[in-house]
Structure 1
């Protein structure tokens, strides 16, 4: 059995060095596949540690801003190469720390490499436009100014991709960064930070401070010298971030929850729809903000779809994500497991019919982990709790619809609007769905969980602060437009 004394402790990264926190307190990161294994220890930092990081980032911001975009891009290319060389090690750490399968972890880490290279290239793109002036003797154009110091608060479910898709654009556009990763994935974040350290970015440009949300997260929200905050997490915490940033005039970007539907029309390819529903809803143990949660099926094909879906769900192999052939790993923590189980109980209490799953694994190799069976509910009313609230676990709710119009109405009848998909061969149904679906990402004949790094990503309604991440859209948050008027 691993103990806190025989595993590595990862320090904060501040001003170009690995620094022990001002408090001696550390916290072990537990392997959700085996709660007896401590993957690593991380600092439980204090406000003093955060202040040191902010001071370093503030000191570094002018020189970093003064580099050309190409020079900043060269640093990101170096980080990408180092991350790629460590891909298997970081992916294995991710699997051990938060539970997703090793192939998924490798794919996510490779995506981090691609994101770094994409934004490295952004350093050579235009950052403004020439605008005709009413004065014929003047030149007027726009440029982009970085925010300054950016606080990055990231969740545990994508411990490589999300930190990188926030840090890379922040850096290429001339900002310095302080990241506070989720405690449950802080060891993986530290290994990513090692890649930045080895690339020798100037001191203070990138900093990492680990610790609790109530101390370090709140400290980032409140700090007067942090000019922008980018956050991904729950809608409840996101609103606190937004309110705190607004109160002191800091710019903020929030990506929050989803209750994502897939619509299965009567003319759909049912086998394709089943495969995509399972992949979108249950891969990564359902722990994606874009995961399929509600499955709205036309009445004419409901029974056939349900039969095919249940048969495929029963074939899913659950276990340690490092083992060959395992398709679904554990929930990321005991707390998350308990949350999922509580929603399953709520579904049964409110009258939904449990078709498959619904239990915690308590036998065999899974007995020491936070495993829950992939779960499907039938006879779900759209107003039930399991159809309205984000579960963040491997739970699918089947809902009947009599028409495409009713299906879209049901799909929109939640407070979230992150992603949605439809399966149909009818072009008019596709067009109606694209026009009428209140979601920031809509997909046709594909799972709800697909996100591409070069395209804008974000939600509508309470899924987001209405900004967009990734792609060239990222420049809108991480910079401010400066209009320049020049007359000789």
Structure 2
């Protein structure tokens, strides 16, 4: 089996330590690839290459139209190779092939969106209090960007960082999750083919406690963008503070989905499942906290259980599979412990809460779709991000109580409201402390809408115009066209 390499300064290299890592298919534990295992020394080389490419290379000096053309070419190549990429993504993560193909369409769309807006942010003229002068604000690249991506949506999350960083004229070092690097490796091959110059986009493949730490601490790095867990995000903030580099963090959520009695019942039930069970609930925006009006609570739970029990688990490549496995044995144990803790605290299992006994699934990291009722905000399963196919259900009596429950969390990434009373919906969303709130929908996103969270879900935004601005510095330029002596000192 060939060992997949890291990319530093345009060269595909083995790690200096010569260590490797096996990449496992979570459906059957089969080794699907071996990759080189980067360390701190490799990260330093990549940072130095990115620094040189930014300070002395042509990429930042190209016009935005020229950079945009290359980024648009990346989108074309992703579309060309979408079936290969989707296959790699499903092998790597266990999600269904159909879901991975959807992702590839979205990923190409992200690159194309940023290619299209690259030259729309050239700067602005502002009023000057001084006659015969010009005052303007221009947008320039931040510099060297370290980008650390998670394992749940490897290439999708990478695209949210790569596309705006590149069109803005930055150079970068990306570290994908060490357990799901395959589509990111392929994407860097496509970026080479598209014409991204050597040293502009560098790829290191290693764990966060070594490679990630070096990327966060190194003084030559100007910005760190991280998507992942809360505790790791805190460590990155601490590391970055040593030299006050810019930081952008998306740290997940515990996302409420409020169901009012006047909502369209059947659609709300259906969408409550869609909000959670894609990729086995391993989604930062998953609507795992259902907060349902008490008058329909029992009916809603009954309907939800009936639908959930029909979800077909299996190989993501098999026709009819609706949900695949969790990402790893370690994560499976975390989800099991998460549910067990909730039960100890008083949550009631109405379905799931165990591994399946199907012989065809015995080698995979599967966990049954789970619903817990009688939940309250004091419980750990309501407060903590479980990152699995687990729904907790709370109930409320008034609109005010629903919003209070929804906001009772350290997170603030996303949420939903289901009601046919549009005035009530608008009142609720205006009070919900989250970066994205859906009305009569859930988990919809698109490239031109910003994405990010309130509170401990992080700060900064990806996607949209603000996603580009994360990778830009604003510079004010004042030009006096007729300078005159002031004669203040030493007349």
TM-score for the superposition, normalised by structure 2: 0.96
Aligned counterparts of 1:235 and 1:450: Cα–Cα separation in 2: 23
Q: Which whole-Å CA distance do the structure 1 matches of 2:376 and 2:385 have between them?
A: 15
Q: What is the correspondence of 1:75-474 to structure 2 with a 5 Å cutoff? A: 75-447=70-442, 449-465=443-459, 467-474=460-467
Q: Which residue of 2 aligns with 1:4?
A: none
Distance in 2 (alpha carbons) for counterparts of 1:17 and 1:365: 42
**In structure 1, C-alpha distance between the alignment counterparts of 2:203 and 2:107, rounded to whole Å:** 17
- Hey, what's the Cα distance between the residues in 1 that align with 2:53 and 2:390? 46
> 39, 63, 84: which is aligned to 1:68?
63
Which string of whole-angstrom CA distances, capped at 9 and with x for unpartnered residues, describes residues 442-482 of structure 1? 000001x22211111100010012x1111111133211110
How big is each residue's C-alpha offset from its partner over 1:335-367, in whole Å with a ceiling of 9 and x where there is no partner?
Answer: 111111111111211111100111112431110
Shift of 1:306: 0.8
TM superposition outliers: structure 1 runs of 4+ over 2 Å? none
| RMSD of Structure 2 on Structure 1 (CA) | 1.0
Q: Which residue of 2 aligns with 1:33?
A: 27
Q: CA–CA distance in 2 between the matches of 1:262 and 1:126?
A: 36
- Cα distance in 2 for partners of 1:150, 1:212 equals 18
Q: Distance in 2 between matches of 1:428 and 1:82?
A: 45
Displacement, 1:95?
0.6
Provide the C-alpha distance between the structure 1 equivalents of 2:159 and 2:247, rounded to a whole number of angstroms.
17
Deviation, structure 1 residue 121: 1.3
Give the secondary-structure state (helix, strand or coil) at the position aligned to 2:280: helix
Measure, in 1, the Cα distance between the counterparts of 2:39 and 2:177: 15
> Partners of 1:368 and 1:191 in 2: how far apart?
27
Specify the alignment match of 2:479 in structure 1.
Answer: 486
Q: Could you say what secondary structure the match of 1:13 adopts?
A: strand
Would the aligned equivalents of 1:99 and 1:329 in 2 still touch at CA under 8 Å?
yes
Q: Give the greater-gyration-radius structure (CA).
A: 2
Structure 2: gaps spanning 5 or more residues: 482-491
**Pick from 3, 6, 11: which aligns with 1:17?**
11
Tell me how far apart the structure 2 counterparts of residues 374 and 240 of structure 1 sit (CA, whole Å): 32
Work out which of the residue numbers 30, 36, 44 in structure 2 matches 1:43.
Answer: 36
Q: Distance in 1 between matches of 2:44 and 2:73?
A: 28
| 3-state SS of paired residue (1:249) | coil
SS at match of 1:160: helix
Name the CA distance, whole Å, in 1 between partners of 2:445 and 2:238: 28
Quick check: 1:179–1:208 contact (8 Å CA) kept in 2?
A: yes
| 1:309-334 CA-partner distances (Å, limit 9, x unpaired) | 01000110011111111010000111
Shift of 1:428: 2.2
The TM-score with structure 1 as length reference comes to 0.97
- Confirm or deny: 8 A CA contact 1:98 1:332 kept in the other structure: yes
The alpha-carbon deviation at position 247 of structure 1 amounts to 2.1
Deviates more, 1:117-126 or 1:313-322: 117-126
- 1:136 Cα deviation from its structure 2 partner: 2.2
Name the stretch that deviates more: 183-192 or 310-319. Answer: 183-192
Q: Is the 8 A contact 1:150 1:176 kept in 2?
A: yes
Query: Secondary structure of 2:179's match?
Result: helix
Determine the C-alpha separation between the residues in 2 that align with 1:105 and 1:420.
Answer: 24
Cα deviation 1:383-436 (Å, max 9, x = unaligned): 111100000000000111011110110010010000000100012211111111
Q: Which runs of 5+ in 1 are unaligned?
A: 1-6
